[in-house]
């Protein structure tokens, strides 16, 4: 385990670059830190760059485009920023540590704090959510730039700023603060978790707009986080009600149904984050789930089984992952062969890297 | 502006917290030089943070509407504070069930405790069950760390909070008003 | 002539004003003549400059009426010339102050100024000149100017208009005030209203380095003086005031209300009446929805003024004139009083209280209304839960009444007997409050109420007082020890004892005395011990009046007899402690009486003293086995009591006493100490305190009274020197406990101080020194004793004045090389600074010259400074938090004693003496903080804390030096406030935090701001300190340090930036100069965190 101090304030989230050995973390100090690492075992981390974003308040969330070539940040200042390498060498030969990131666009539209941002599996779509009870879906449009007028929640006209992004829709199907958005790993399905205790799933109606296909009720308090299983047939959610739940997708002629098939109750304080990775338990494993929260505990489960009949085997449980502080986020490394590497972010201003070795 | 509760009941605030601690330790030979006695006894075993101490931290926070302390308005009392290992539970009672400022009061208390307690403590702040119309809503907000974090970045809000906290250091000692 | 001409030439070249002229060697006439062509020179400054510079130096009288006139004319027509106007004005200033400037001149000057000077065109300094001229003329030629009528009035308005500079405003305001009061401004009231009220409310923020020291308050007061200068302003002013009241911030509001309060009486009753309603409507908002207490109080005072004014004359006419605003206010507040438990009730009561302090008429009306509302309320069974609130309200009302009738030092006070406002209610009130005593929740307010009640002179009859006392006694009996009930109950009784001691004596005292045990409770029953201590304290608080004190002494000495008589007690020490506390109480009471200047103390030399001696001496007789008088604390306090009494008796009595005292102690003739009714009987010769070690314990009973003997009282000994030397030897006798030895040393000091004894001082002491100090083999404790003895002798000589003490201080310094004694010697040097403490005092007739501490300080300081700097070594004090304190460079080892001496010294001497040395001292003290000696560090920080104490009356020298070192101070404090691996004393941590807490208050915001983040981070650790008190301090300090407001509003951003650069370079250079870091540091101009600043050079 290694601990990285770089931030001068609470660290909220981390995200692994899908293609390059890069880890991004965002913090209340309004900056994003990029760490590069080696493919050795254990990997060695070093601070690559520190992006001092022009966000005026906490940077709450970071997300990489599947290509790894773009980074999105969501901030309490209600804006989303998009960052891309400033030099246009071909992505493949850039050396991860030396990329300079520049802001290529700011997406304005949310009325209050942005809480989360995510890229769709094919990288064409971006979703963001906010305390203003809306989820926005943006489409990356290639140049020539143009300005687009579209109707918004309050029916008023919104002007897109230097829009390489256009807003495809504003979804207002939660009654409260929306905490987190997550895209299906393969299809264009979006899940959103809310302070109103529910989870919504949305799909795109070809000849209309985005609409919610399901509203999942079950959690008895704020749903903080959602993470899809690598196969896409399940997802897991974590909540203020101190439970982690696993939901399965049931295909039906009339459309899909989503059922909660497991409730894991192992935490003593709000569970701020779950992450579902491939893991290293062979092919009959559905992967590993890690969860963490206000109790600072990190718990790792191996998920075995088929269909609705799955079992969860606790692989590891770690107390006080960030000392006395809360742990705000966990995320699995995506890199081939490093699926057992976990990054966590905490109130103690640090990012920590863990290696899970099943015994 | 229209006050939520224009003329609330004022309660006698208790005397300053009185402890039979080292300070009041008995000395057979009453010594004039208290200070030197103090210096000796202070070296004694640690005094863990207890409910009374937490209460002292928040009892004198001012109500946003009145120049009165939360204690005087019986919004909080020592008995409404519990400490279990590293968790502090604070329960408070809004002056009126519709009090729109409950969240603000709660926030003030949270800020005060965040600043004044060692960070090993987790803090839960809840309104007394049945004492507020939208009890759950208030509790949920006060304990949503993300919301609180965002709130603390809101300068307007923090200004109000600071005003409420400006009296917090009195710790219940009664304000000396020039009784002309 | 020639001579002058030549002088002038030199001046023209050198610009040196010529002394000879001023010293009268030449006449001005000659000057003017010789100025000749210069006077027509192109350069105006030359034309007029010399004369003016000469005049400024002219002693009054060098000018004749005539020449003054010539000059004035000369200057006046220079006023219109742009080149000459300034020197001309410079010339006129002294002239207008000159007695030979006539009224006509004055008028002319004013006219030409009005005509030629356009203030707007001039810079501040010139405008100031003009105003000074006006001011001079106003004070010397007021009549003449008055006769100018409008010409002057309007003219001046022109001058004063649009002035903005505080320096000029101060004088402009004073001018305006004179005009407003002395001149008839009827023709241009509005103009004068404009040039004064346009400044209201005046807000001014002096620059941080304002050399003129004009404060916002000075301006405020000066302006107010104008606003309330004439009644003519009234009609114009009130609307403006009201407007400001509804708008402005808290500050404005307070300023406005205070101003109104001052102006109204001047503006007069009509104005008051016309605006009464409007005014009250705004005031009541401030009272009932106060933004803060101060503002509310201002509003109350203003209300009081308003009402007093309006109803002023109505007091005379009996045709009840409460009609009007006063009545309305009462009724309005009454509504709130009906719910005394609600928050609005409190302000309501205050309003009533304010009204009670107005006029007789309103007072009666208010009281009757209020009481007839509250009294039934209390009785109403439905309102029982609200009784505490009701009682508090009642108490406030009575308290107000009391303030009206209690004799004030200054203003003539009203007699209660003239009005008897409360008579018709007093039965109810007594009833209510005594009922209140019956229930726990209402006891406190009731006691408070009774206390106030009994303090209203001539309200209660003796029977009524008796009844009150009786019911309060009951509380006393039931209330548990150290409950606040008990203390406030005693408060009431104490108040009564002032008017009617008899009642207390008959009822309360017996009660208390009877609850005193005859023998000490077992030591483990803490409560019992606290109990008798409480009771004794209670007695002390009650028994100062002569009558009561007598009983007090009689009862207590019998108690002592009892305690002493018990031989076979289980726990002698507990008993001794009890006896000790009894005597301590006597001593406390004596001290109080002495303070109050009671004259009944001397008689106790016969009534008390012999009994004490009897107790101890006889007690010592029965067997030498462990006895209660073996406890030196007990003997010590007994001695103290004797001393306190002896202080107060006449020379004659002292002399007789002294002889019997010495007879007893030196020759064993104890019975000499007897008095008619107490005889001390012991076998002859059996009392030999100086040979019999067990009796040696009683020596303080000899030494303490010696201390109190007058200079004139000769000792009944053949050879005083011998006697004192004997004492000296005894004081070093290791059989004597520290207390005994100290008491002997004090006696020695007292004798030396009063009787000189130069031989002893010069010869005998040096023997002792050789014998004990030089010989390092002697027992260290004993050598320490010698140092203590030296300290006391030095004190004796020091307060006596002169320089004799230096021999002793020198010897102490010489010990700084002695590794085992250096610290004691160092502390001793500080101790001396304490002076005679409670031994060599005026009360004890010691010879005390003034400024001796000052002299002492000046004599040792240089030596100490030298000691520190010569042993300097590296000036740099390592300042990283992780640095381990337990070890420090050897060179510090030599500095240590000097630093210790310095700290102790500063700790003990008054601030005034060392304040201006602070710039030198602070760096040294900082260094002391890195010594391992915890107590020393505590002392240092306590000293720093003390110095910063009254910063609001700011001492620039200290302030600036502190600012300069602020960052290092902060770090040092943080370092001392953390619980590191090596445990610091909690006291150190606490005081360090405390001091850290004051810094943000006294140091400019921009200096500390760069370090704020780090300071807060470090402080966070202290929040988990094992000690509660330390945590408390940490929380408070952290709050203070966290405050951004401090100063932020005071400094616009570029000041801050400037500050940052400057401070950084200053502190850094001062730190690293002599480490060759100077240049390196210069480069870094923007500070990072503290470590960054301090560590980079170490890389």
Single out the residue of B86, B70, B175, B72 nearest to residue B127, CA to CA: B70
Smallest Cβ–Cβ distance between C292 and the set B49, B57, B67 belongs to: B67
Residue B92 distance to chain A (closest CA, Å): 21
Looking at residue C645, what is its pLDDT?
A: 95
Percent of chain C at pLDDT exceeding 70? 83
Using DSSP bridges, classify how beta strands B122-127 and B87-92 pair: parallel, antiparallel or unpaired.
Answer: parallel
If you count them, how many residues does chain B have? 180
- Binary contact (B149, A58; C-beta < 8 A): yes
pLDDT digit string (tens) for C698-754?
Answer: 889 999 999 999 999 988 888 888 888 888 888 888 888 888 889 999 999 999 999
Q: What is the mean pLDDT of residues B48-65?
A: 90
Average pLDDT over residues A100-129: 90
Q: Computed over its alpha carbons, how large is the radius of gyration of chain B?
A: 18
User: Total structural domains in chain B?
Assistant: 2
- In this complex, do A270 and B145 lie within 8 Å of one another by their Cβ atoms? yes
Task: List C-alpha distances in Å: C325 to C11, C259, C306, C357.
Answer: 73, 21, 10, 16
**pLDDT tens digits, one per residue of C564-603:** 888 777 788 888 889 999 999 999 999 999 999 999 999 9
* B147 interfacial to chain A (CB closer than 8 Å): yes
Nearest-5° Cα angle at A29, A174 to B143: 45
CB contact under 8 A, C297 and B180: yes
A29 touches chain B (CB under 8 A): no
Question: Which ipTM did the prediction report?
Answer: 0.84
Residues B21 and B91 in one domain: no
Beta bridge partners of A204: A210
Name the band, by pLDDT with cuts 50, 70 and 90, for residue C1095: very low
Asked if residue B106 and residue B58 are part of one domain, the reply reads yes
In this model, does residue B163 exceed pLDDT 80?
Answer: yes
Interchain contact C994–B (C-beta under 8 A): no
Lowest mean pLDDT among A119-133, A221-235, B163-177: B163-177
The number of helix segments (H) and strand segments (E) in chain C equals 58, 0
Q: What pLDDT does C966 receive?
A: 87
Q: Does A30 touch chain B (CB under 8 A)?
A: no
Q: Chain A contact for B140, CB < 8 A?
A: yes
How close is the nearest chain C Cα to the Cα of B16, in Å? 11
Closest-CA distance, C466 to chain B, in angstroms, reads: 28
Contact C293 B115 (CB under 8 A): no
Regarding beta strands A114-119 and A101-107, do their DSSP bridges make them parallel or antiparallel, or are they unpaired?
unpaired
A113–B122 C-beta distance less than 8 A = no
Q: Residue C979 CB: number of other CB atoms within 10 A?
A: 17
- Identify the pLDDT of residue C1056: 34
Is A110's Cβ below 8 Å from some Cβ in B?
A: no
CB-CB under 8 Å, B150 with A76: yes
The chain-wide mean pLDDT, for chain A, equals 87
The answer to whether residue B155 neighbours chain C at the CB level (below 8 Å) is no
Contact C293/B67, CB-based, under 8 Å? yes
- The answer to whether the Cβ–Cβ distance between A222 and B86 falls below 8 Å is no
Q: How far is B118 from chain A (nearest CA, A)?
A: 10
- C357 in contact with B, Cβ within 8 Å: yes
Is C1081 or C151 the better-scoring residue by pLDDT? C151
Chain centroid to Cα B84, Å, comes to: 17
- Over residues C374-428, the pLDDT tens digits come to 999 999 988 888 898 999 999 999 999 998 888 766 666 678 877 888 888 989 9
| Domain of B22, in residue numbers | 17-47
| C1018-1036: pLDDT as tens digits | 888 889 888 888 899 999 9
pLDDT band of C41, cuts 50, 70, 90: low
> CA A61, CA A345: separation in Å to the nearest integer?
12
What is the C-alpha radius of gyration for chain C, rounded to an integer number of angstroms?
A: 38
Residue of C328, C334, C325, C320 whose CA lies nearest to C364: C320
Alpha-carbon radius of gyration of chain A: 19
- Provide CATH code, domain C878-1050: 1.25.10
One domain, residues B161 and B114: yes
Residues B21 and B108 in one domain: no
Q: Are C290 and C296 in contact (CB under 8 A)?
A: yes
Q: CA end-to-end span of chain A, whole Å? A: 17
In terms of domains, do B38 and B75 share one?
no
Given a contact cutoff of 8 angstroms between Cβ atoms, the answer to whether C825 and C787 are in contact is: yes
Q: Is B146 on the interface with A (CB under 8 A)?
A: yes
Interface of C with B in 290-349 (CB under 8 A): 290-293, 297, 300-301, 336, 339, 341-346
Subunits next to C (3 or more Cβ pairs <8 Å) are B
Do the Cβ atoms of C577 and B30 come within 8 Å?
yes
Per residue in C639-676, pLDDT (tens digit) is 999 999 999 999 999 999 999 999 888 888 888 887 77
B94 within a domain of the structure (yes/no) = yes
pLDDT digits 0-9 by tens, C953-968? 556 667 778 888 888 8
* pLDDT score at A153: 46
Q: Which chain C positions have a beta carbon within 8 Å of B178's beta carbon?
A: 297
Residue of B nearest to C356 (CA): B180
Count of Cβ atoms closer than 10 Å to residue C818 Cβ: 15
Cβ contact, residue pair A324, B147, below 8 Å = no
- B148 and B66 assigned to the same domain: yes
Provide, as residue numbers in chain B, all residues whose Cβ is less than 8 Å from the Cβ of C483.
none
User: Quick one: pLDDT at residue A28?
Assistant: 93
Q: Are B158 and B144 part of one and the same domain?
A: yes
CA-CA-CA-CA torsion for A217, A219, A221, A222, nearest 10 degrees?
-80
Instruction: Assess whether B67 and B29 both reside in one domain.
Output: no
> Which of A269, A272, A293, A296 to mutate to test binding with chain B, by most B CBs within 10 Å of its CB?
A269
Give the total residue count for chain C: 1099
Q: Which of B47, B63, B85 is the last residue of a domain?
A: B47
pLDDT level of residue C692 (50, 70, 90 thresholds): confident
Instruction: Categorize the per-residue pLDDT at C131 as very low, low, confident or very high, splitting at 50, 70 and 90.
Output: very high
Q: Does C484 touch chain B (CB under 8 A)?
A: yes
B124 touches chain C (CB under 8 A): no
Contacts of A320 in chain B (CB under 8 A): none
- Name which of C248-262, C935-949, C1066-1080 the model is least confident about: C1066-1080
Q: Is residue B177 part of a domain?
A: no
Task: Determine, yes or no, domain membership for B1.
Answer: no
Quote the pLDDT of residue C733.
Answer: 83
pTM, entire model: 0.71
The answer to whether residue B39 scores a pLDDT higher than 80 is no
Would the pLDDT of A64 be above 90?
A: yes
Q: Are residues B41 and B82 in the same domain?
A: no
3-state secondary structure of C873: coil
Chain B nearest-CA residue for C351: B180
Q: C1070 or C608: whose pLDDT is higher?
A: C608
Residues B61 and B126 in one domain: yes
Helical segments of C756-889, H only:
758-759, 765-768, 780-800, 806-814, 822-833, 852-870
Nearest to B153 among A76, A131, A179 (CB): A76
Could you tell me if C734 and C779 are in contact, meaning their C-beta atoms sit under 8 angstroms apart?
A: yes
| Structure tokens belonging to residue B46 | 């640690």
| pLDDT one-digit tens code per residue, C820-864 | 888 889 989 998 988 888 889 999 999 988 888 888 998 999 898
Instruction: Determine, for residues B15 and C1023 on separate chains, whether the beta-carbon distance falls below 8 Å.
Output: no
C1027 vs B53: CB contact, 8 Å cut-off?
Answer: no
| Measured distance CA(C1024)–CA(C233) in Å, rounded | 62
The pLDDT value given to residue B30: 63
Q: What is the rounded distance in angstroms from the CA atom of residue C547 to the CA atom of residue C554? A: 11
Cis before A42 (ω within 30): yes
Within an 8 Å CB–CB cutoff, is residue C94 touching chain B? Answer: no
Among the residue ranges B123-127, C124-128, C414-418, the one predicted with the least confidence is: C414-418
CA distance C527 to B20: 12
Range with lowest mean pLDDT among A246-255, B36-45, C503-512, C987-996: B36-45
Pairwise CB contact (< 8 Å): B47 & C346: no
Kindly state whether residue B6 falls inside one of the protein's structural domains: no
Neighbouring chains of B at 3+ CB pairs within 8 Å? A, C
pLDDT band at C173 (very low <50, low <70, confident <90, very high): very high
Record the tokens describing residue C721, joined without a space: 């020197």
Q: Which residues of chain B have a CB within 8 Å of the CB of C537? A: none
Count how many residues are written for chain A: 359
* Helix axes C293-311 and C325-337, enclosed angle (nearest 10): 140
Residues B39 and B53 in one domain: no
**In 3-state terms, what secondary structure has residue A182?**
strand
A10 Cβ under 8 Å from any chain B Cβ: yes
What ranges do the domains of chain C cover?
Answer: 233-310, 878-1050, 1051-1099
Q: Is C406 touching B (CB cutoff 8 A)?
A: no
How close does chain B come to C1036, measured CA to CA in Å?
A: 7
Has residue B8 got a pLDDT over 90?
A: no
> Do residue B145 and residue A326 have CB atoms under 8 angstroms apart?
yes
Q: Which residues in chain A touch residue B143, judged by CB atoms under 8 angstroms apart?
A: 240, 270
| Binary contact (C1027, B47; C-beta < 8 A) | yes
Comparing CB atoms, the residue among B29, B42, B169 nearest residue C1036 is B169
Q: Concatenated DSSP letters for C506-528? A: IIIHHHHHHTS-SSPPPTT-HHH
- What domains sit in chain A, N to C, each tagged with a CATH number? 2-355 (2.130.10.10)
Asked if C790 and C766 count as a contact pair (C-beta separation under 8 A), the reply is: no
Of the candidate ranges A11-15, A31-35, A90-94, C779-783, the one whose mean pLDDT is the lowest: A90-94
Query: Residue A346: pLDDT above 90?
Result: yes
- Residue B5 maps to a domain: no
C-alpha distances (whole Å) from C125 to each of C129, C168, C196, C481 are 6, 9, 21, 70
CATH of the domain at B145: 3.30.300.130
CB of C396 less than 8 A from some CB of B:
yes
- What average pLDDT score do residues C615-620 get? 84
How high is the pLDDT of residue B178?
Answer: 36
- Nearest-Cα distance to chain A for B122, in Å, is 8
Determine whether the interchain pair B42/C987 forms a contact, defined as Cβ–Cβ distance below 8 Å: yes
Q: Are residues B135 and B81 in the same domain?
A: yes
């Amino acid at each position: 385990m290694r601990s990285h101090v770089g931030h001068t304030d609470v660290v909220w989230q981390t995200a692994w670059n899908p293609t390059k050995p890069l880890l991004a973390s965002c913090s209340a100090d309004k900056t994003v830190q990029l760490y590069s690492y080696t493919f050795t075992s254990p990997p060695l981390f070093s601070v690559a760059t520190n992006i001092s974003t022009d966000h005026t308040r906490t940077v709450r969330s970071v997300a990489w485009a599947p290509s790894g070539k773009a980074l999105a940040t969501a901030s309490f200042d209600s804006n989303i920023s998009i960052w891309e390498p400033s030099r246009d060498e071909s992505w493949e030969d850039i050396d991860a540590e030396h990329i300079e990131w520049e802001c290529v666009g700011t997406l304005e539209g949310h009325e209050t704090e942005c809480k989360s941002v995510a890229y769709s599996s094919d990288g064409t779509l971006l979703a963001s959510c906010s305390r203003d009870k809306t989820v926005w879906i943006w489409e990356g449009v290639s140049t020539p730039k143009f300005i687009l007028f579209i109707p918004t929640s309050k029916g008023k006209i919104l002007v897109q700023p230097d829009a390489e992004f256009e807003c495809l829709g504003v979804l207002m199907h939660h009654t409260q603060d929306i905490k987190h958005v997550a895209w299906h790993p393969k299809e264009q399905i979006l899940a959103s978790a809310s302070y109103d205790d529910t989870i919504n799933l949305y799909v795109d109606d070809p000849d209309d707009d985005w609409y919610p296909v399901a509203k999942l009720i079950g959690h008895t308090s704020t749903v903080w986080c959602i993470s899809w299983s690598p196969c896409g047939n399940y997802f897991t959610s974590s909540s203020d009600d101190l439970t982690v739940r696993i939901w399965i997708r049931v295909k039906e002629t009339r459309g899909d149904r989503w059922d909660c098939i497991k409730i894991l109750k192992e935490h003593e304080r709000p569970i701020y984050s779950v992450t579902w990775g491939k893991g290293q338990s062979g092919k009959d494993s559905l992967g590993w789930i890690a969860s963490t929260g206000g109790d600072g505990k990190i718990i790792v489960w191996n998920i075995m089984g088929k269909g609705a009949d799955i079992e969860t085997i606790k692989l590891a449980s770690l107390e006080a992952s960030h000392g006395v502080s809360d742990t705000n986020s966990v995320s699995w490394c995506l890199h081939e062969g490093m699926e057992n590497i976990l990054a966590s972010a905490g109130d103690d201003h640090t990012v920590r890297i863990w290696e899970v070795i099943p015994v | 502006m229209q006050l939520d509760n224009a003329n609330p009941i004022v309660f006698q605030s208790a005397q300053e917290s009185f402890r039979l601690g080292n300070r009041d330790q008995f000395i057979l030979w009453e010594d004039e030089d208290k200070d030197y006695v103090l210096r000796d006894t202070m070296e004694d075993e640690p005094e863990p943070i207890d409910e009374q101490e937490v209460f002292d931290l928040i009892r004198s926070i001012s109500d946003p509407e009145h120049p009165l302390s939360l204690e005087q308005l019986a919004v909080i009392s020592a008995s409404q504070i519990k400490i279990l290992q590293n968790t502090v539970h604070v329960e408070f009672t809004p002056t009126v069930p519709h009090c729109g400022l409950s969240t603000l009061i709660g926030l003030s208390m949270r800020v005060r405790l965040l600043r004044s307690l060692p960070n090993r403590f987790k803090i839960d702040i809840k309104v007394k069950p049945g004492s507020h119309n939208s009890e759950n809503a208030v509790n949920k907000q006060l304990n949503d760390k993300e919301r609180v974090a965002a709130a603390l970045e809101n300068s307007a809000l923090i200004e109000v909070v600071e005003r409420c906290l400006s009296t917090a250091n009195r710790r219940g000692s009664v304000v000396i008003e020039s009784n002309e | 002539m020639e001579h002058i001409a030549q002088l002038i030439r030199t001046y023209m070249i050198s610009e040196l004003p010529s002394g000879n002229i001023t010293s009268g060697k030449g006449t001005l006439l000659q000057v003017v003549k010789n100025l000749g062509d210069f006077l027509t020179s192109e350069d105006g400054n030359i034309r007029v400059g010399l004369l003016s510079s000469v005049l400024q130096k002219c002693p009054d009288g060098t000018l004749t009426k005539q020449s003054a006139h010539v000059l004035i004319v000369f200057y006046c027509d220079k006023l219109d010339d742009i080149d000459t106007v300034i020197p001309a004005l410079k010339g006129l200033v002294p002239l207008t102050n000159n007695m030979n400037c006539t009224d006509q001149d004055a008028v002319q000057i004013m006219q030409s100024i009005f005509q030629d000077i356009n203030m707007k065109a001039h810079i501040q300094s010139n405008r100031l000149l003009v105003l000074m001229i006006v001011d001079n003329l106003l004070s010397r030629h007021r009549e003449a100017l008055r006769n100018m009528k409008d010409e002057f009035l309007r003219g001046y308005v022109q001058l004063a208009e649009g002035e903005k500079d505080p320096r000029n405003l101060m004088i402009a305001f004073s001018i305006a005030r004179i005009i407003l009061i002395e001149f008839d401004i009827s023709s241009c009231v509005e103009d004068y209203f404009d040039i004064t009220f346009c400044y209201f409310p005046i807000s001014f923020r002096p620059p941080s380095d304002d050399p003129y020291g004009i404060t916002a308050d000075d301006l405020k007061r000066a302006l107010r003086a104008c606003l309330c200068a004439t009644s003519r302003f009234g009609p114009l002013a009130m609307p403006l005031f009201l407007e400001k009241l509804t708008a402005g911030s808290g500050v404005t509001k307070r300023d406005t209300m205070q101003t109104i309060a001052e102006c109204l009486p001047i503006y007069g009753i009509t104005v008051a009446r016309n605006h009464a309603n409007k005014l009250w409507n705004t005031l009541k908002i401030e009272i009932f929805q106060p933004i803060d207490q101060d503002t509310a109080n201002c509003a109350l005072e203003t209300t009081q003024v308003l009402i007093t004014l309006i109803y002023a004359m109505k007091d005379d006419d009996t045709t009840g004139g409460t009609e009007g605003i006063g009545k309305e206010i009462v009724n309005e507040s009454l509504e709130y009083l009906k719910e005394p438990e609600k928050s609005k009730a409190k302000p309501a009561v205050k309003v009533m209280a304010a009204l009670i302090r107005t006029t007789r008429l309103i007072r009666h009306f208010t009281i009757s209304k209020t009481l007839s509302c509250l009294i039934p309320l209390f009785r109403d069974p439905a309102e029982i839960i609200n009784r505490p609130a009701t009682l508090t309200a009642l108490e406030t009302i009575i308290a107000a009444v009391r303030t009206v009738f209690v004799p004030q030092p200054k203003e003539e006070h009203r007699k209660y007997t003239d009005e008897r406002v409360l008579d018709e209610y007093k039965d109810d009130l007594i009833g209510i409050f005594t009922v209140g005593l019956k229930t726990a929740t209402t006891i406190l307010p009731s006691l408070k109420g009774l206390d106030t009640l009994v303090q209203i002179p001539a309200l209660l009859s003796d029977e009524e007082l008796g009844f009150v006392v009786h019911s309060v006694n009951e509380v006393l009996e039931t209330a548990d020890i150290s409950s606040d009930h008990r203390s406030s109950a005693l408060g009431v009784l104490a108040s009564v004892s002032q008017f009617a001691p008899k009642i207390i004596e008959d009822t309360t005292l017996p009660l208390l005395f009877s609850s005193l045990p005859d023998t000490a409770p077992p030591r483990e029953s803490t409560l019992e011990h606290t109990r008798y201590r409480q009771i004794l304290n209670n007695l002390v608080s009650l028994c100062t009046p002569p009558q009561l004190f007598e009983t007090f002494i009689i009862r207590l000495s019998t108690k002592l007899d009892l305690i002493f008589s018990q031989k076979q007690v289980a726990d002698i020490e507990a008993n001794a402690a009890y006896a000790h506390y009894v005597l301590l109480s006597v001593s406390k009471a004596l001290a109080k009486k002495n303070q109050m200047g009671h004259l009944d103390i001397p008689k106790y030399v016969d009534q008390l003293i012999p009994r004490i001696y009897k107790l101890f001496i006889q007690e010592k007789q029965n067997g030498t086995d462990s006895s209660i008088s073996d406890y030196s604390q007990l003997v010590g306090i007994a001695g103290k009591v004797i001393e306190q009494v002896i202080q107060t008796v006449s020379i004659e009595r002292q002399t007789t006493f002294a002889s019997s005292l010495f007879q007893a102690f030196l020759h064993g003739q104890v019975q000499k100490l007897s008095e008619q009714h107490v005889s001390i009987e012991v076998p002859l010769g059996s009392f030999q305190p100086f040979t019999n070690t067990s009796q040696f314990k009683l020596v303080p009973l000899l030494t303490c009274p010696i201390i109190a003997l007058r200079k004139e009282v000769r000792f009944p000994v053949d050879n005083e020197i011998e006697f004192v030397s004997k004492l000296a030897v005894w004081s070093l006798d290791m059989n004597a406990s520290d207390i005994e030895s100290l008491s002997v040393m004090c006696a020695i000091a007292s004798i030396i101080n009063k009787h000189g004894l130069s031989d002893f001082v010069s010869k005998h002491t040096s023997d002792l020194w050789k014998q004990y100090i030089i010989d390092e083999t002697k027992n260290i404790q004993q050598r320490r004793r010698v140092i203590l003895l030296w300290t006391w002798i030095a004190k004796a000589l020091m307060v006596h004045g002169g320089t004799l003490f230096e021999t002793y201080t020198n010897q102490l310094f010489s010990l700084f090389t002695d590794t085992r004694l250096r610290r004691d010697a160092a502390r001793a040097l500080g101790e001396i600074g304490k002076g005679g403490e409670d031994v060599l005092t005026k009360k004890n007739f010691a010879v005390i010259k003034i400024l001796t501490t000052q002299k002492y300080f000046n004599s040792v300081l240089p030596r100490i400074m030298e000691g520190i700097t010569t042993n300097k070594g590296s000036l740099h004090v390592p300042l990283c938090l992780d640095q381990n304190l337990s070890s420090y460079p050897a060179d510090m080892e030599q500095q240590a004693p000097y630093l210790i001496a310095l700290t102790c010294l500063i700790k003990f001497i008054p601030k005034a003496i060392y304040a201006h040395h602070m710039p030198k001292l602070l760096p040294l003290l900082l260094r002391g903080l890195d010594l391992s000696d915890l107590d020393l560090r505590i002392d240092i920080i306590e000293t720093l804390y003390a110095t910063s104490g009254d910063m609001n009356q700011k001492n620039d020298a200290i302030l600036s030096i502190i600012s300069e070192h602020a960052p290092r101070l902060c770090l040092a404090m943080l370092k001392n406030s953390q619980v590191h691996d090596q445990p610091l004393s909690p006291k150190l941590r606490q005081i360090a935090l405390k001091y850290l807490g004051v810094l943000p208050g006294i140091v400019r915001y921009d200096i500390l701001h760069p370090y704020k983040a780090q300071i807060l981070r470090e402080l966070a650790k202290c929040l988990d300190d094992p000690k509660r008190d330390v945590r408390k301090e940490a929380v408070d300090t952290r709050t203070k340090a966290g405050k951004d407001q401090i100063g932020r509003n005071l400094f616009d951003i570029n000041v801050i930036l400037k500050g940052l650069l400057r401070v950084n370079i200053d502190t850094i250079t001062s730190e690293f100069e002599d480490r060759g870091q100077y240049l390196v540091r210069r480069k870094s101009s923007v500070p990072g965190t503290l470590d960054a600043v301090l560590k980079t050079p170490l890389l």
